[in-house]
Structure 1
Amino acid sequence: MPDRPLNATAASLLGFLHDGPMTGWDLVEYAQQRIGAFWSLTQSQVYRELTAMAAAGLIRAGERGRRDRQPYEITDAGRAAFAEWAARPPAEESIRFPLLLTVLFGRHLPPGRLAEFLATHRAAHAARLAGYEQVAAALPAESDTVDPYSVATLRFGLAYERAVLEWFDALPGQLGAAPDLS
C-alpha cells in the first residue's frame, strides 16, 4: 500500500489498468476518451504518477517495445490500493469554469468581446452534446454488454451539456450582444 492515500489521477490510472496492460501513451489516450470531458489529465501527470506508482509497487513495468514504449500492469497491491480509494467517499465537487470568471468580470472587457467568448463556448458545448448524443444513439437499447457505469456517466454528460446550453440561452441580452463591426 502507498504511504499516502491515492489521488484521483493515480486512482483513475489504476482503474484503467484493470482492463489490461497499457503504456503511458495508451493511458493518456484512453483517459482522454473515457474521462477527458470531466476530468483533466496531462501527459506529464500520467508519467509522473506511473513513476510514483511503480516505485510504490502498485504497478509493474513490462519490457520496452516499439518506439521505446513501456507497458504497465497493475499489481495486487495496486488492486488493493484502488479498492481502498474506490470505497472512500468522493470529495465534494467544485465548479471550476473559467468562462464564469470571465463573465463575472465582463464589464471590464471591450464591447462585444464577452459575446465572442460566449459564442465560442456555446458552440463547444453544443458540439460536445452532439457527440454525447451520437454515443447514446449507438448504444443498444437492451444489452448485457452495455456497461451501466459508463452509461450513468454518459447520462450525466448529456444532462450537464443540456443545462449549460440552457444557461447560455437564458443569459441577459447585453451579455451575448454581438460586437458592432460597422
Structure 2
Amino acid sequence: MENRNDRFRRRYFNSIDQLLIKLSAAAVILLLVCQVLLLNSDARRYLSLVDKLEGEQITSPATMYAADVPLPDPAEAMNTVNKVFAKSMRSLRSGKDITIRMINPPASIDAVVTVNGKAMGNFSKGKVDITLYDGDYIEIDATKIKKPAQFIIDTHKNDMVFPVDGILLEGQNNLIVVGKVIFRR
C-alpha cells in the first residue's frame, strides 16, 4: 500500500516539476521577446507605460538666466520667472497654426479664444489665427453673446488628431470647450 502511494506522489511531483520548468522557460522566452521589441521606438510606445507618460523630450538652451528678468515685487517675483521660463520652453517646441472663424453672428469682440486659460484674441475681424502646441487646451468664451454663435475650426490640414479640421461648434451665453490639442506623431 505504501508503495502505491509513493509512486503516485512521485508521478504527481514529477508532472508538477515538468510543468514549472515549461512555464519558466516560456516566461524567459517571453521576456527576451519583449526586450527585443523594446529596442524599436515604435513598439516601445505601446509596451512601456513610462514612455507614454513621459511625453516629448525637450532640450533647453544652455544659457537661460532667470536673473535677467526684472522682478516687480517679491510677491510676484516667482510668477514672473515662471512665465518667462514657460515662454522660453514653449519656443523650443514646434507649433501648428490654426484659424477659428466666427460664422454667426458676424465679427464680434464679445467672443474670446482662450488657450490654457489665457486670452489669445477676439473675433473683431471675424477670425482668430493662433499657434498651438501639443497638449494645449482651447476654449471659446461666448458668455457675452446673446444670439446663437457658430464657429468653424480650420487646422490647415496640419498633422492634428484633435481638433478635427472643419468642425462646427455652436453655443449661446456659455463657454464653448474645443478641447485638448493632440498632434499626430
TM class, shorter-chain normalised?
under 0.3
**Greater helix proportion:** 1
Higher alpha-carbon Rg: 2
**Greater strand proportion:** 2
Q: Please give the TM-score of this superposition, normalised by the length of structure 1.
A: 0.17
